[in-house]
């Protein structure tokens, strides 16, 4: 049975104006502007796809007021069409959900408290003194160690691993393969040999946090590693011990944050960026993909050290020049001195 | 019981000429040129190891015609000795295989269709409407959500996690910890708060694809993420939603590909390279390890932005020069102007 | 029941001098200098926190002789206070431990030898001919293939995946999601198509090795991948086939080492650094975070190619200059020639 919705109902749900309000078309799904058929809706936010908008065969398009006249089909007009897309897409989400109750193969310590509306999948293992709140879903093969709290409505996909003393807020989503609360990388050197520093802290995760597949978040050395409310973390991100990530910050895949660094709120960290340890990044900082942050940042704005790739022979010449910059600078200095240039000249 | 093979049989299998065709030596395994004993074979493809070739005690060496005279032992001569190595090595592969049938601890939804020759290991969980074809091996602890198709002869190592609506072709190999079909990193911003965009697409994987350990491939937002036939993906690679990887492309470990990017066929992507979203890379592009691709590439060839490390004090001076390039360029401009150089001079 | 220890006993354990030896304070835990209360101890090693030391309310502080006079509370004085922290922290480590014995849901091949003091958790799967030594802990959901040896006292956290023929030494710790022994990324090209090279080697891991969450270590192509004694590896590190890591080397998160590279002993590899294949790094080399090593290194010391991020508009101008370095160098050359500068001038 395919779900279907009247356009007018979708408009109401997402808070859009339906231009032709009498349209009785039933919508069965979402598609791109290019591929949408007469029972699918699409959205338009990227000017690059204007031609696709003009040629679309969709039932309707979610778009902003400025472009409504260029839409050949019915329009769902709103100021933030991307948000409309997010809301409307949820109507057609067929992500499987667990049945309520505890699967008979789950192994749950008798001291754990599992809310009656929680859903616990096959082969889940839950340790001592855990508290699993209402409407939580813990999918197959998750392992949850002792003293873990999971707040109402949170979802753990299959095979999430939670170490002891991790606290997870409400309505979080944690994807498969994520590991939360593993030991921070702490060790003391004793005449060349490494001695492990037991990691005594935990991990504290706020509400509405999403954590991507195979992401790792280490427990703190003494105090907790903290992920504040609304933070969104993509796949294969590494967050070291005692890091604090401020509320509503988003970080793309493969980011790495070294120990004890504090990231502000509303930051955007691009894919594969690296942030060194023991620094502070203020609110609303944007870090470009593949950039390395080595010092604290106290001004909002965008920061980068990314170098775009070029054809390799040309690039190799550039690297050779980079490696000879010392000599080039010395030559320029001598030239400047020979010609008696002064500061004023240099800024002409 | 050690397996053993006659040299002549190996020659036939790999399509090589055995120089001394009367050699009755039995071969029990493979080793490097340096370490091979009189019942082991070796291969030679890298000129760097010519001395090792000349001193080898192997039963025989797989090599090309040009170097056969330098081989002190019997030779298996063929135009692509590395391919010969691949084929001959398969004789000695002792990777454990599952027994045919379904392990009694596997939990399989009654609506799933499992071919009678499929092999399903302990604690595997398989969801609704899945189709598992002949000779498929699904090792211990894999979790497979609803509506997943796995084609004939494919192997999932232990603990692979497949989300719903993922289609996997024939003869694929997926290594432990890989996550296929996790949600793409899509969200709309609503006045500072992130609203999740349900990821309605799936993942479509062709035949003969290999996917490395702990690699993650996200499902598409509206349409599928696509990995075409013959693609080889190493460990810890991240492939975002709606990426398309063309047939026979290989990517080394730790590569990250951002959303909606289309990679051509027969590309080679070096380790830890990063490719931004919404771009197109044509066929036969080679990306150097640790390089960042920020624009579409429409010419085959090799591209790089990698900078080789140097001794740190020297490198730090270089970084200081890089950060002052603006000033250096200004000085050079003034010098050029003072001396009245023209374009012709500059290209002498 | 909170554990508590007398200060004098802690001093004895860690080999420190307790300045006020008559202090009978009982210690219940560790905290930072800022947050420690009158029954907690702290440590001081970073001069940046001198103000916190002077204001601490801790029961005592582990510190070195030079700063003992600045400590307002009792002091535990020793030459390596960070080592003292490591040792004292172990008193308060509450990491859950498995019960001795084999959980009834573990599936263990009859040919495997499990020491009577080993601890095997729920849903663990252990293959043929494995040998699990005394005091080994294998937590829930680990999968261990055939012919694996695990030495005395080693701990596998939940959901570790070990392929066949991996040998792990004594007192190792392997964190959740780690994959050891997956196939190396080896393939021969046959007219555009990739042919898999079976990976016939194994993995050999020494004693006292720690391996982080979601780290992957591939098996060798012909011989073993080797991790020597005392090596410490953080999360999400990738070690390719036939790599050798020398004893007591430490590598931070997200490092990638390409195939057949040999790293020396006592090296420190910074986070997200990449090391190319088929090279040798000598002992006591330090690689800065996010650096790329493309050539063998035969001198101890620190190496870097990391570029710190800057405000993006300024950085983009720098990138433009980098891409025009060829032209700048040509201009400087002409200027030098016009002015008749000689080598001596250029080095004034």
pLDDT in tens, C108-146: 999 999 999 999 999 999 999 999 999 999 999 999 999
DSSP state of A323: H
Residue C332 belongs to what H/E stretch? helix C325-338
Q: CA-based angle A256:A262:A264, to the nearest 5?
A: 100
- Residues of A classed as catalytic: 241
pLDDT band at C171 (very low <50, low <70, confident <90, very high): very high
Identify the active-site residue in B39, B103, B164, B241.
Answer: B241
pLDDT band at C344 (very low <50, low <70, confident <90, very high): low
What pLDDT is recorded for position A14?
A: 96
Any chain C CB within 8 A of the CB of A274? yes
List the single best residue of A216, A218, A267, A294 to mutate versus C (max C Cβ within 10 A). Answer: A216
Any chain B CB within 8 A of the CB of C323? no
pTM of the model: 0.97
What pLDDT is recorded for position A342?
A: 61
What pLDDT is recorded for position C65?
A: 96
Could you tell me which chain B residue has the CA closest to the CA of C254? B254
Contact (CB<8Å) C322/A307 = yes
Q: How far is CA A73 from CA A24, A37, A40, A41, C16, in A?
A: 13, 11, 12, 10, 79
Closest alpha carbon to C213 in A194, A150, A197, A241:
A241
pLDDT, averaged across chain C = 95
Residue C17 belongs to what H/E stretch? strand C17-18
Q: How far is A209 from chain C (nearest CA, A)?
A: 20
**Percentage of residues of chain C with pLDDT beyond 70:** 97
Q: How far is CA B288 from CA A54, A124, B257, in A?
A: 40, 42, 14
**Higher-confidence position of C48 and B120:** B120
- Chains touching A (at least 3 CB pairs under 8 A) are B, C
- Residues of C classed as catalytic: 241
Any chain B CB within 8 A of the CB of C322? yes
What pLDDT is recorded for position C339?
A: 81
**Dihedral angle, C-alpha A95, A100, A106, A112, nearest 10 °:** 120
Residue with structure tokens 């010519």?
B50
Contact (CB<8Å) B190/A290 = no
Mean pLDDT of each 10-residue bin along chain A, 348 residues long:
88 96 93 96 94 97 96 97 96 94 98 98 98 98 98 98 98 98 97 97 98 98 97 98 98 98 98 98 98 98 98 97 94 86 53
What pLDDT is recorded for position B348?
A: 41
What pLDDT is recorded for position B340?
A: 74
Q: How far is CA C331 from CA A331, B329, B343, C68, C301, in A?
A: 11, 10, 9, 60, 36
- Does the pLDDT value for residue C186 go beyond 80? yes
Closest alpha carbon to A160 in A196, A123, A188:
A123
What pLDDT is recorded for position C1?
A: 55
pLDDT band at C2 (very low <50, low <70, confident <90, very high): confident
Q: Which of residues 19-78 of C touch A (CB under 8 A)?
A: 29-32, 35
Contact (CB<8Å) A176/B189 = no
Closest alpha carbon to A290 in B266, C211, B287:
B287
List the single best residue of A331, A332, A340 to mutate versus C (max C Cβ within 10 A). Answer: A331
User: CB neighbours of A65 closer than 8 A, spacing ≥ 6?
Assistant: A77, A79
Any chain A CB within 8 A of the CB of B152? no
Pairing, β B137-138 against β C107-108: unpaired
DSSP A51-117: HHHHH---SEEEE-GGGGGG-SSEEEE-S-HHHHHHHHHGGG-----PPSEE-TT-EE-TT-EE-TT
What pLDDT is recorded for position B26?
A: 95
Could you tell me which chain A residue has the CA closest to the CA of B291? A309
Residues of chain A contacting residue B194, judged by C-beta atoms under 8 Å apart: 208, 230, 232, 248, 250
State the count of interchain CB pairs (< 8 A) between B and C. 232
Q: What's chain C's Rg over C-alpha atoms?
A: 26
- B241 carries an active-site annotation: yes
Q: How far is CA A105 from CA A108, C10, C226, in A?
A: 9, 44, 38
What pLDDT is recorded for position B5?
A: 96
What pLDDT is recorded for position C338?
A: 84
Contact (CB<8Å) A308/B305 = yes
What pLDDT is recorded for position A344?
A: 55
Contact (CB<8Å) C308/B319 = yes
List the single best residue of B189, B237, B270 to mutate versus A (max A Cβ within 10 A). Answer: B189
**Percentage of residues of chain B with pLDDT beyond 90:** 94
What pLDDT is recorded for position B196?
A: 98
Pairing, β C143-144 against β C225-227: unpaired
What pLDDT is recorded for position A337?
A: 86
Cα(C169)–Cα(A283) distance, rounded to whole angstroms? 46
- Does the pLDDT value for residue B3 go beyond 90? no
Contact (CB<8Å) C164/B95 = yes
Q: What angle do helix axes A325-338 and B325-338 make, rounded to 10 degrees?
A: 40
Its ipTM equals 0.96
What pLDDT is recorded for position A348?
A: 41
> What is the layout of strands, in order, in the sheet containing A17-18?
A17-18, A74-77, A60-63, A40-43, A29-30
């Amino acid at each position: 049975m395919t779900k279907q919705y009247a356009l007018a109902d979708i408009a109401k749900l997402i808070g859009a104006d339906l231009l032709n309000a009498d349209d009785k078309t039933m919508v069965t799904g979402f598609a791109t502007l290019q591929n949408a058929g007469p029972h699918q809706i699409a959205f338009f936010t990227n000017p690059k796809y204007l031609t696709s908008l003009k040629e679309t065969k969709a039932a309707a398009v979610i778009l902003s007021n400025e472009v409504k006249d260029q839409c050949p089909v019915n329009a769902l007009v709103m100021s933030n069409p991307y948000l409309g897309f997010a809301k409307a897409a949820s109507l057609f989400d067929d992500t499987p959900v667990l049945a309520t109750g505890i699967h008979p193969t789950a192994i749950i310590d008798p001291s754990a408290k599992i809310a009656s509306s929680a859903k616990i999948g096959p082969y889940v293992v839950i340790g001592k003194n855990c508290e699993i709140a209402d409407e939580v879903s813990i999918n197959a093969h998750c392992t949850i160690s002792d003293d873990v709290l999971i707040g109402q409505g949170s979802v753990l996909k299959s095979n999430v691993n939670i170490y002891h003393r991790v606290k997870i807020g409400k309505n979080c989503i944690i994807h498969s393969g994520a590991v939360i609360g593993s030991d921070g990388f702490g060790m003391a050197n004793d005449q060349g040999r490494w001695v492990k520093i037991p990691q005594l802290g935990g991990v504290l995760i706020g509400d509405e946090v999403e954590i991507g597949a195979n992401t790792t978040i280490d427990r703190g050395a003494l105090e907790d590693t903290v992920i504040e409310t609304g933070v969104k973390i993509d796949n294969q991100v590494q967050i070291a011990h005692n890091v604090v990530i401020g509320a509503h910050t988003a970080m793309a895949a493969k980011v790495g944050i070294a120990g004890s660094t504090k990231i502000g709120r509303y930051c955007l960290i691009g894919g594969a960026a690296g942030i060194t340890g023991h620094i502070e990044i203020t609110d609303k900082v944007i870090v470009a993909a593949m950039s390395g942050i080595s010092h604290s940042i106290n001004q909002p704005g965008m920061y980068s050290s990314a170098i775009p790739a070029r054809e390799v022979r040309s690039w190799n010449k550039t690297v050779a020049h980079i490696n000879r910059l010392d000599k080039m600078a010395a030559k320029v200095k001598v030239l400047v001195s020979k010609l008696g240039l002064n500061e004023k000249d240099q800024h002409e």
